[in-house]
Structure 1
Amino acid sequence: MKRTKIIITLGPAIENIHMMTSIIRAGADIARINTAHGNITYHQHLVERFKEASKKTKKFIGIMLDIKGPEIRTGEVENNEIELKEGKTLLLTSENIIGTSKRLSLNRSLSPFLDKGDIVLLDNGKIKLKVIKVKKDEIVTQIIQGGKIKGKRGVNVLGKDFPFPYLTRKDLNYLQFAVKNEIDFIAASFVRRANDIFEIKKALTEFKGNIPIIAKIETKSAIKHIEEILWISDGIMVARGDLGVEMPVEELPEVQKYLLKMAIAQAKPTIIATQILETMINQPIPTRAEVSDIANAILDGADALMLSGETAIGKYPIEAVKVLVKVAKKTETFFFKTSLFFELKGGISHNVSNAATLLAKEMEADAILCLTRSGKTARLISRHKPKTKILVATYNEKILRQISILWGAQGFLTKKLLTTDETITSAIQNALKKRLLKKGNTIIITSGEPSGPSGITNIIRVQVVGDILGKGVAFGKRRVRGKVCFGMNERGEILVRKEMPEIFTLLSFKGVIIENEIFNPEIIKKAVKKGVTIIIGVKNILKHLKPGDVIQIDPKRGIVFR
């Protein structure tokens, strides 16, 4: 099972229902819509189709809307691509024109803020320009580093922090769109400080919406204010394209590790983005360097990895997701060998999540079952990155989609009931139906009081799934399931007796249950060597069984259950 979550970007390569269902089945957990490309009508169609595809696959897949904030981008260019040649002059203007190799439009006027000698970078630093003259309506630059460039590429100016308002009219329209369409996450581009997130929250409140906000960290200012940004946001995305342009490239790995560490400390989910599998836009296989980059991001503690052009416009979107799934699964096997435990400090919920994770590890539990109304319990457990499977039960479909960002979390719907015991019983029954649990599994359960306030987890419980018929001292390694019999002349796979039979009798069955605590070690040794599972000292077991009953023996935990 893959624990690391995968975010794909919708676009021309993934815009019909067939491709959407295929990419969900390949392993996508969240779909991102980038508002920098396309218009609101096109994005409405994408949302509707993707929701239909999710329904078709019977999976609760989240949708993330990426708003652009104070981002600076180029406009459209002729023939969808132009070539900028080193040494030539290029004029930058805020006038809405189709760009050429001589004149390129920007979505904002930069003339008041630029000076002669400033360095302007286009398309994640692939194109480098030097300002040689600033006019009222345009900027004259010399092309220092040329190349081909498509339309609507990102623009960075080294050493400049522009005083633009965070939200544009377009962003506000898209926030309204997000509330109307019940979008699950807002990705906020070019966050500079905590107040930018506050502006989004304020706007969402006015539109009567409450959507988790993922702050995209892609400026030096955001790194400087990361602690406050984490306080107010619901997670962060390390957007390495623009971030790598803002600083010397050799500093980026250290900054990535630092940002992940800060987010883990505050129990906020993290996404690593940009150039995850860039070569797979045009090639069917990744580079070795990309595979190593993915693995290191997972080992550093990332919850999710995001594909951009790889799935939006790439030739191999499904293959790219499959590569991520394979690399994630393999890397997670290394991850579990390191025995990581991120202690969370805080209130009752934090302490319960700490205890549940440690208890699951010590008991070698089969799953941690989180009963949640807000998703907080699941988020706190997920922070620990436990080897134990994390199951999340909630009656709220919106919360189910929102936990799709949490590392390792597998969500399912359950009923809203009055008491804790009823809720737990219902959740376990639903997990059994979905084959997320099996009878005999030992699980750690965390929940709050159903009648109490949302977001407070104050209950922790250890439970074995199924009806426990008895406990004893077990010998053997194989779990056994079969029909009960009381003697050699009856049909059955599990013999139940009051006292230990002879060796030839033992060897006729897959499992043997003895009420008496007295046994012959030599006989036990011979039977176990032949593959028989035996459990001794199960008091009053004969009273609970009749011939033909189907039961199981779990030697690991020394229990007999129905």
Structure 2
Amino acid sequence: MKKDILSELFDNLLDLKEKMSSGVDKNMPNVSLLNMKYYLNVRKHDFSHLQDDLTKVGLSSFGRSQAHMEASINVALEMLSHALKKELHLPKALLSYEESHAIMDKNSEIFSTSEDKTKIMITVPSNYADEKEWFKNLSQEGVHLFRINTAHDNPSAWKEMSGEIKNACSDEKELKIYVDLAGPKIRTSLKKSKKSDKPKKYKLFCGDSVLIHPDGQPPLKKAAKQYDAVVGCTLEHLGGLVKVGDKVFVDDGKIEMVIDEILGDDIVCKVVSRNEKGISLKDEKGINFPNSDIAVRAICDHDKEVLPHICEYADIIGISFAQTSEDIHDLIDELDRLGKKGKIAIVAKIETQKGVENLPEILEALIEYGHSGIMIARGDLAIEIGFENLAYMQEEILDLCTAAHMPVILATQVLESKMKTNIPSRAEISDVVFAHKAECVMLNKGDYALETIKILTTILKQMDLVFRKNKLLYNPSFQWK
């Protein structure tokens, strides 16, 4: 092998190491935070060609080095220095391969101390008691933790669920309780029909005009005659937070609209979704404003009211719609007030464009807190960033979390057809292969939970035997540059 090729590689690696360390305080007390900052620095530049060149000479391309950046680069430099017979005196990396993986293993124990690589979480349905020993049966098939969603039911029901979960624990297996705070989800609010106690329903078609107004405020006069639908919204001062041309999605993206006009706090939208039979617009359905900067704190008044109840039994608390580090600190402050700071793990759910943009600062706040994690909530996230960008973004989030040694839950529509119909789609099976990269995978509610858990545990065990993570390319086309 020509010496000039190796010499060029050596120089390029030194350049990579210098750029990685630029502006980073190596004396910061937390090695996970240090490693994340190294990773973010590397991703500001295009080193993909260097990776290919390293592979050609039989060296590591760093495609699986997110958790221990400095140590991996040092090893490659040392090997090249030996080949070139150059003297090289590098200080020892603050975090070795073994140490980084030990940290990751320890951090993932917030989900379970089980030796299973990917833990399984399932949402508790309101009617769980319809099936005898529901928790025990699912636990025996492979479930490690159960999710209670405070957007549904009430404190009494949640406490009863938690008691049943604890009763299903055994000496061989502990079960963790994950409680999701409802958060400030923006929803539709339809007036009730004069003829019944049920809210109105609208059937919308492409080109229809919809007036959306803040809930609790009267809509424009004669709005019912002027527009095809008049919809309340739980977001205050709506008109001042958006602009003409912004997209609006309702009901998990089933209805897509564009803002045509802003009338004070009200907005007028045009339906752009095409469906010959029309699309039903219903009450209490989620509304997304992906192009708008909606500055809403994640911990809402309802969350603060229920926290004293759920802190009695929660092992993990999930922050819905986490968008900034302030959201993390808000929950920490509430836990401190209740005497639970440091005793309950925190998971930040990433499900908005703003949450993605601010993920490094969110991770920094979680690292400082201690036992914590991230959930990739793919339902709202896909709407916020565009369905076509979801596959790319969930990979990027996983890699950044690996650099921060932060355990990840992958959620939304995992084996959903199997859960609801007992027949999985082929795409769902491939999706589980991706889910294997996370430390935990979440299933939602369905009538075929037991059958779904069986197929999920089988796939995960198979992937444990054969899985090899693909090489990550360090190019500058990146969210957090």
For this structure pair, what is the TM-score category when the shorter chain's length is used for normalisation?
0.5 to 0.7
Distance 1:80 1:61, change over 3 A: farther
Task: Give me the whole-angstrom Cα distance separating, in 1, the residues matched to 2:246 and 2:169.
Answer: 47
Structure 1 residue 199 corresponds to structure 2 residue 330: yes
Higher share of residues assigned strand: 1
Are 1:121 and 2:236 an aligned pair?
no
Residue of structure 2 in register with 1:47 after alignment: 162
Task: Name the residue aligned to 1:84.
Answer: 203
Matched, 1:144 2:272: yes
Structure 1: tracts of 5 or more residues without a match: 341-562
1:247 matches 2:361 = no
Question: Which structure 2 residues correspond to residues 97-136 of structure 1 after superposition, within 5 A?
Answer: 102-109=229-236, 110-136=238-264
Question: Residues 124, 292 of structure 1: CA spacing in aligned structure 2 closer, same or farther, 3 A cutoff?
Answer: same
Structure 2 CA distance, aligned partners of 1:82 and 1:24?
40
State the Cα distance separating 1:151 from its structure 2 match: 4.5
Matched, 1:325 2:457: yes
Distance (Å, rounded) in 2 between the aligned partners of 1:76 and 1:44: 31
Deviations, residues 270-321 of structure 1 (Å, cap 9, x unaligned) = 11111112223431121111110110231xx31011112xx2xx22222222
SS of the residue corresponding to residue 3 of structure 1 reads coil
Task: Identify if the C-alpha distance between structure 1 residues 151 and 291 changes in structure 2 by more than 3 Å, giving closer, same or farther.
Answer: farther
**Cα separation, 2, equivalents of 1:128 and 1:334:** 41
Report the secondary structure of 2:136's partner residue: helix
The whole-number CA distance in structure 2 between the counterparts of 1:81 and 1:20 is 38
Contact kept, 8 Å, 1:280 with 1:315, in 2: the verdict is no
Tell which deviates more after alignment, 286-295 or 82-91: 82-91
One-letter code of the match for 1:319? E
Aligned match for 2:438, one of 293, 302, 308: 302
Give the whole-Å Cα distance in 2 for the aligned partners of 1:268 and 1:245. Answer: 24
What secondary structure does 1:64 align onto? strand
Instruction: Provide the rounded CA distance (Å) in 2 between the counterparts of 1:112 and 1:339.
Output: 45
Residue-by-residue CA offset, 1:125-175 (whole Å, 9 max, x unaligned): 121122334345643333322524555332211211212233211011222
Q: Is the 8 A contact 2:251 2:286 kept in 1?
A: yes
- For 1:184, give the aligned amino acid: D
Match runs of 1:175-254 below 5 Å = 175-179=307-311, 181-210=312-341, 211-233=344-366, 234-254=372-392
The code of the aligned residue for 2:165 comes to F
Separation (CA, whole Å) in 2 of partners of 1:122 and 1:77: 17
Question: How far is 1:322 from its partner?
Answer: 1.9
Q: How far apart, CA to CA, are the structure 2 residues paired with 1:26 and 1:83?
A: 43
Question: What SS does the aligned partner of 2:458 have?
Answer: helix
Coordinate RMSD, CA, aligned: 2.9
Matched residue SS, 1:250:
helix
Task: Tell me the distance in 2 between the aligned counterparts of 1:5 and 1:26.
Answer: 12
How far apart in 2 are the matches of 1:80 and 1:304? 38
Q: Which amino acid aligns with 2:365?
A: I
TM-score by length of structure 1 reads 0.54
- Number of residue equivalences: 329
Q: Is the 8 A contact 1:65 1:187 kept in 2?
A: yes
Gaps of 5+ in 2: 1-114, 193-197, 218-223, 367-371, 472-481
Structure 1 contact 194–228 (Cα < 8 Å) conserved: yes
CA distance in 1, matches of 2:200, 2:447: 18
* Residues 243 and 292, structure 2, Cα contact 8 Å, conserved in 1: no
Which residue identity does 2:250 align to in structure 1? L
Give the letter for the 2:124 counterpart. Answer: L
Q: TM-score, normalised by structure 2?
A: 0.62
